[in-house]
Structure 1
Amino acid sequence: MPLLSTSSRIISFGQYGLKFVRTATTALLLVISSLLTPSVIADTDKLPSIGSDQPDRLTMHQEYRLGRAWLRQYRAASPVIYDPIMQNYLETLVNKLAVEAELYERRLNLIAINAKTINAFAVPGGVIGVHSALLLKAKDEDMVASVLAHELAHLSQRHYARRKDNAEGQQLSLLTAMLTGLVLSANGHSQAGVAAIASSQAAAIQSQLQFSRLHEQEADAVGFRVLKDAGFDSSGMARMFELLQAEARTNGGSAPEFLLTHPLTQSRIAFAKEREIKDGTEAFYSNLEFQLIRVRAMLQQTPIKERPVVLTALLKSVSDSIKEPVKLYADILSALDQDKTQKARELTEQLALQPDHLYFRLLTARVLVMTGQSDQAFSLLKTQLKETPDNMAVKAFTAQTYLNAGQTPQAMEAFKKLSRERPEDPWVWQQLAKTAADGKDLLTVYKANAEYHQLTGDIPQGIKELKLAREYASNDPIEFARIDHRIKDLEKLFKELNFQ
């Protein structure tokens, strides 16, 4: 049984791996070509200079559409983590930083990837990706926040748009190469990713993927300010640089994935350390929530037989004051993952002696349902919802608990509400389809599956699902019209993306 209901379409990169990625990048090339109309291309030559507060609005809209087109392709080919708790944590962290970043595009879309490479990236249009290994390897939240602040700085300073004078060539080659490299990296083929990038358009692509020293220095300075203003320990940036250096030495000089596109120089390290001293911030503190998220990342990317060793290494970096609750959390989740319900129940009794934390309450509710104590579980969750009514993880966990407890009508209502709040979240649509199938509501199954498919790179399948829904709703004129309108929306989108 998975930690949470998760699903990802993981592409096998054997002898056909590079062939698949070339196909994917060709498709994205068509996407970008269709979005870059002649008039738009002409306008992109007038990109804002450094420090300009009046970006070309058409270019910004163009970047947003490019980013969402890219995201569909990336989801289709990468091992995405669909974990509401991790998703909510990362979104909250990024939003806290984004408040202090001078972003032109604030419609951010965050994606977590199950990958053992240390990496994070930002794509024009507000798409931000985080590899699970970044969470696992970083020892504290401030280190991760420093990376995300750096990525937000690249977006706020529009370094992608400013990288080349020829905006048309830059956009086409940059985003297609980025898709190729990041897909291969996420699937454990970082060296293959570099090779694919190098062979596709030689040094030009590699040059575009690597930010210039000026851009890196600017992102460091802006990111440092964002980190500090958002209330994080600014020394996290220097500690992150030290971790990346250590990883490179451990791997025999092979740089972590993050450094392939963000070269680390001695001047950047010196900058971080100098600012750290001038800022005079206190030493970093142990954050229980972050350490529990590290546990979730560890369980996502680590095979069962390897977990004891990896968990031991993780605990060495955790302060003594919270080692016990962190280990207990890992043990309970691992027991559930292996269907050892009785062991999980016995371990959960120890949570009463640990700090009162949201993640412990959610875990307790899950164990209660699995041991036939659904009433107690829902009492706990209803109390939590009153305390944190806007917490996405709590709402998602409650909906899934209804589903696991066999309370299909309540689960349907909860997932439908979530789908209205999070229309771009594939996991929500997938769970709504599953719930509707349990409730034998075929109309909702078709509609939810359509949204899941179109968000994960298969718009034609989404249209097929909607056509089935339209046929099913033939006796309901209002619903028929709604579905017909949505079909036309997706057909228009498909045509714009030029996949025909």
Structure 2
Amino acid sequence: MKRFLLACSTVLISAMGATHSANVNSMPQFSVPEIGSGIGLIDQQKEKMIGEKVFREVQKQMPVMQNPWLEDQLFNVFSHILSQTQLGQPIGLVIINDAQINAFAVPGGLFALNAGLITSARNMDEVAGVMAHEVAHVSQRHYSRSQEAFKGQGLLTLAGLLVGALVASQADGDVGTAVMLGTQAALMDKQLNYSRNQEREADRIGMQYMYSAGYNPQSMADFFEVMHRATSKVSFLPDFWLTHPLSTERMSEARLRANQLPQVKLNLHDEDFEILKWYSMVISNQATEQQLQILASRKNFAGQLALSTFYLKQGDYVLAQQALDQAKMHQRLNNLMILIQTDIYLGQNKVDEAYKAIQSTARIMPENRALAFKLAEVLIRQKESGQALSLIQRFNNKNPRDIAAWRLMQQAANIDQQSPFRTVNVLRYRAEVEYWSGWEENAIKSLLHAQRLVKNNEVLSAKLKMRINEMQKERQLKI
């Protein structure tokens, strides 16, 4: 299977080099140029609309992993890097269930990682290097600057290329070739020199971001060298893809910059990342039962949690509990362990036990999204719709694109037998799930249905009309 990836908007990085977490103490301060809204033809609002459009297309066409715990773990690292910039609230960070090592960024602040990047990495520094590079693309507004340098090529051509390339990467060789080597590839060829400069700028600034955030900058240089060795063995790629985005000069520059920074304190074993990695391997179907059994038999905490998750996915709650009980013998507080235990109880329809397993920790850590969502799921099973809705609403207010939150709100509204607007609320929340999942026409139909049900309620009808108009306007944006 041949896979073609968009070189201008993505960075392909192998995670085979051994690097270690950085010590955040005594970090030097860097002066990073932040490209403001005065540069480029697309203003920030337009970039946000493009990013949200691509977000919906990715949700619709790609195998996005909806897993609050995994999302939160990666978003925590992402936030550390983002804090080094002047960027505002991002559109989001999505995880694609694809074994390829890949990541991409889109104007407006949409970032995505493949599961293969996580499962191939040896530590979080390697993942952070990818994130930092992609954050630099957005902070320097490379998309807008590309449009300015190549006027007349179409406002959304690069965004369309990105989605097309990502979809093609899921297909067989003929489909991938048709997308990436067709007429749009000619546009990419025109932008080769310009995009090379952007990649080098993203390397330089991204390395500053990751180092300031406390991660080892050597990781980025290691990635480039491994990627160069990997691509040099791929004979079917045309010269354009073999020479871009990586080059010997670019790799040398990255290594030189990393060597000029002070050495960091080495962390030889990062158990948190090991848990993240093996859990990701299980939920992305990259781990076998035999692998996990061997790891768990060595009393490896991450392996025991992963094995329990594996059996949980299989619906074997007895074996899942046995593996989890082995992990509990380590006597460590771990939120993932609590989430797994709750899911085992829910799978066995032991709802009261599930509530006892999750409620105290979720109440102590009210800002933990994964715990709150799992508690809401339990409350819905207990028919406590009001409590579930209030629990989820604050996360929904922070991020209106949170599909998992909207789905839980839809489920909670559906069991609210006392509300006179039960059907209307179910339709409203379902519409948001549909809309942010890329099914824009279905979302508008759901809201139109809800509007007909409340035609005598002027306030609610006006609110629905406003949202319908917003969806219709944003739907017109083509990529």
TM-score for the superposition, normalised by structure 1: 0.77
**Cα distance in structure 2, aligned partners of 1:387 and 1:93:** 22
Determine if contact 1:399/1:414 at 8 Å carries over to the other structure: yes
- Which amino acid in 2 is paired with 1:171? L
Q: Secondary structure at the match of 1:283?
A: coil
**Cα distance in structure 2, aligned partners of 1:327 and 1:498:** 45
Q: 2:239 aligned with 1:263, yes or no?
A: no
Deviation at 1:84, TM superposition (A): 0.8
**Cα distance in structure 1, aligned partners of 2:143 and 2:468:** 34
Q: 2:113 aligned with 1:130, yes or no?
A: yes
**Cα distance in structure 2, aligned partners of 1:237 and 1:138:** 12
Q: 2:453 aligned with 1:472, yes or no?
A: yes
Query: Deviation per CA, 1:321-344, whole angstroms, max 9, x where unpaired?
Result: x97011101110111111111111
Q: 2:324 aligned with 1:341, yes or no?
A: no
Deviation at 1:312, TM superposition (A): 8.3
Query: What's 1:93 paired with?
Result: 77
Query: Deviation per CA, 1:263-314, whole angstroms, max 9, x where unpaired?
Result: 22233333333344332113344333322222232123327xx62366589x
**Cα distance in structure 2, aligned partners of 1:409 and 1:61:** 35
Question: Aligned pair in 2 of structure 1 residues 60, 149: CA closer, same or farther (>3 Å)?
Answer: same
- Which amino acid in 2 is paired with 1:123? V
- Which amino acid in 2 is paired with 1:117? Q
Q: 2:477 aligned with 1:497, yes or no?
A: yes
Q: 2:155 aligned with 1:171, yes or no?
A: yes
Query: What's 2:354 paired with?
Result: 377
Q: Secondary structure at the match of 2:168?
A: helix
Is there any run of 5+ residues in structure 1 with no aligned partner, and where?
1-12, 14-49
**Cα distance in structure 2, aligned partners of 1:498 and 1:145:** 32
**Cα distance in structure 2, aligned partners of 1:136 and 1:470:** 46
**Cα distance in structure 1, aligned partners of 2:153 and 2:301:** 52
Query: What's 1:301 paired with?
Result: 284
**Cα distance in structure 2, aligned partners of 1:340 and 1:483:** 44
Q: 2:74 aligned with 1:107, yes or no?
A: no
Is there any run of 5+ residues in structure 2 with no aligned partner, and where?
2-31
Query: Deviation per CA, 1:239-271, whole angstroms, max 9, x where unpaired?
Result: 33344346547x75678xxx8796222333333
Residue of structure 2 aligned with 1:481, choices 439, 445, 462: 462
Query: What's 2:37 paired with?
Result: 55
Query: What's 1:79 paired with?
Result: 63
Q: Secondary structure at the match of 2:181?
A: helix
Deviation at 1:127, TM superposition (A): 1.0
Determine if contact 2:80/2:213 at 8 Å carries over to the other structure: yes
Residue of structure 2 aligned with 1:219, choices 191, 202, 209: 202
User: Which portions of structure 1, spanning 4 or more consecutive aligned residues, are displaced by more than 6 angstroms?
Assistant: none
Question: Aligned pair in 2 of structure 1 residues 191, 236: CA closer, same or farther (>3 Å)?
Answer: farther
Question: Aligned pair in 2 of structure 1 residues 381, 312: CA closer, same or farther (>3 Å)?
Answer: closer
**Cα distance in structure 2, aligned partners of 1:301 and 1:253:** 28
Determine if contact 2:156/2:478 at 8 Å carries over to the other structure: no
Deviation at 1:66, TM superposition (A): 1.6
Residue of structure 2 aligned with 1:447, choices 412, 415, 428: 428
- Matches for 1:416-435 after TM superposition, within 5 Å: 416-435=393-412
Q: Secondary structure at the match of 1:212?
A: helix
Deviation at 1:416, TM superposition (A): 4.1
Q: 2:314 aligned with 1:330, yes or no?
A: no
Give the length in aligned residue pairs: 438
Deviation at 1:69, TM superposition (A): 1.8
**Cα distance in structure 2, aligned partners of 1:352 and 1:311:** 17
Query: What's 1:233 paired with?
Result: 216
Query: What's 1:287 paired with?
Result: 270
Q: Secondary structure at the match of 2:104?
A: strand
Determine if contact 1:299/1:334 at 8 Å carries over to the other structure: yes
**Cα distance in structure 2, aligned partners of 1:261 and 1:480:** 56
Query: What's 2:23 paired with?
Result: none
Deviation at 1:400, TM superposition (A): 2.0
Query: What's 1:19 paired with?
Result: none
Greater shift in the superposed pair: 411-420 or 223-232: 411-420
Greater fraction of residues in helix: 1
Determine if contact 1:116/1:132 at 8 Å carries over to the other structure: yes
Q: Secondary structure at the match of 2:43?
A: helix
Could you say what the CA RMSD is over the residues aligned between the two structures, in angstroms? 3.4
Query: What's 1:148 paired with?
Result: 131
Q: Secondary structure at the match of 2:122?
A: coil
**Cα distance in structure 2, aligned partners of 1:254 and 1:428:** 43
Question: Aligned pair in 2 of structure 1 residues 205, 273: CA closer, same or farther (>3 Å)?
Answer: closer
**Cα distance in structure 2, aligned partners of 1:115 and 1:166:** 32
Query: What's 2:340 paired with?
Result: 363
Question: Aligned pair in 2 of structure 1 residues 242, 365: CA closer, same or farther (>3 Å)?
Answer: farther
- Which amino acid in 2 is paired with 1:173? T
**Cα distance in structure 2, aligned partners of 1:443 and 1:141:** 44
Query: Deviation per CA, 1:370-403, whole angstroms, max 9, x where unpaired?
Result: 4455444334423222432212122112212333
Question: Aligned pair in 2 of structure 1 residues 311, 264: CA closer, same or farther (>3 Å)?
Answer: farther
Question: Aligned pair in 2 of structure 1 residues 452, 158: CA closer, same or farther (>3 Å)?
Answer: same
Question: Aligned pair in 2 of structure 1 residues 156, 420: CA closer, same or farther (>3 Å)?
Answer: closer
Query: Deviation per CA, 1:114-146, whole angstroms, max 9, x where unpaired?
Result: 112111001111111111111111111000000
**Cα distance in structure 1, aligned partners of 2:172 and 2:269:** 33
Question: Aligned pair in 2 of structure 1 residues 244, 323: CA closer, same or farther (>3 Å)?
Answer: farther
Greater shift in the superposed pair: 56-65 or 111-120: 56-65
**Cα distance in structure 1, aligned partners of 2:381 and 2:193:** 46
Deviation at 1:73, TM superposition (A): 2.0
Query: What's 1:351 paired with?
Result: 327
Query: What's 2:20 paired with?
Result: none
Greater shift in the superposed pair: 78-87 or 353-362: 353-362
**Cα distance in structure 1, aligned partners of 2:320 and 2:215:** 35
**Cα distance in structure 2, aligned partners of 1:236 and 1:402:** 43
Q: 2:178 aligned with 1:199, yes or no?
A: no
